Amino acid sequence: MKQFDTQVMIKGYQFLLKITPAGISAERFPYYGHFYGCMGMYLLGQEFKDAKEYREKTGAYIAGVQQELVASQQEDGSWPLKGWLKNAGSENSGYSTAVATLTLFVPEARLSIYQRTPPKLPAEAKPGKW
């Protein structure tokens, strides 16, 4: 996480905006997709905090994921099996609940991966230079 690959992050950002949180929810690995999608959007929002467009779009994406997750939370507080978990015959919602919970807390930046000083971006990596 010390080296920021701008081109990869921008392509991921564009993909996530195109597929939307609802689209990720319908995929085979929704919890995994939401977790890493939110993490990427959070980090991109940090890197480009001075670029209002990125900050707004990354924040809106994360809020959309949070809405998706909260809407699917079950009455007992767990999250349902979706995607490959549902098709694997698993009856344990431990993974889906754990990853959904971690995902909801990405904006809190409490995971150790966020305890870093963002690297200085090269001039060609500034927003609007792509």
Domain spans in the chain, listed from the N-terminal domain onward: 6-116
- Asked if the model's pLDDT at residue 2 lies above 60, the reply is no
Q: Give the residue-averaged pLDDT of 67-71.
A: 97
Residue-level pLDDT at 8: 85
- Asked if the model's pLDDT at residue 1 lies above 50, the reply is no
Share of the chain above pLDDT 90, in %: 47
Residue-level pLDDT at 7: 83
Residue-level pLDDT at 74: 95
> Which one has a higher pLDDT value, 39 or 3?
39
Total-model pTM: 0.79
Give, to the nearest 10 degrees, the angle between helix 52-72 and helix 30-47: 160
- Taking the C-alpha atoms of residue 22 and residue 125, their distance in angstroms, rounded to an integer, is 30
Work out whether the CA dihedral 13, 16, 20, 22 comes out positive or negative.
negative
**In terms of C-beta density within 10 A (0-12 exposed, 13-18 middle, 19 or more buried), how is residue 84 classed?**
middle
3-state secondary structure 53-107: HHHHHHHHHHHHHHHHHHHHCCCCCCCCCCHHHHHCCCCCCHHHHHHHHHHHCHH
Compute the mean pLDDT over every residue in the chain, rounded to the nearest whole number. 84
Residue 90 region by backbone torsions, left for phi larger than 0, else alpha for psi between -120 and 50, else beta: beta
> Which one has a higher pLDDT value, 6 or 66?
66
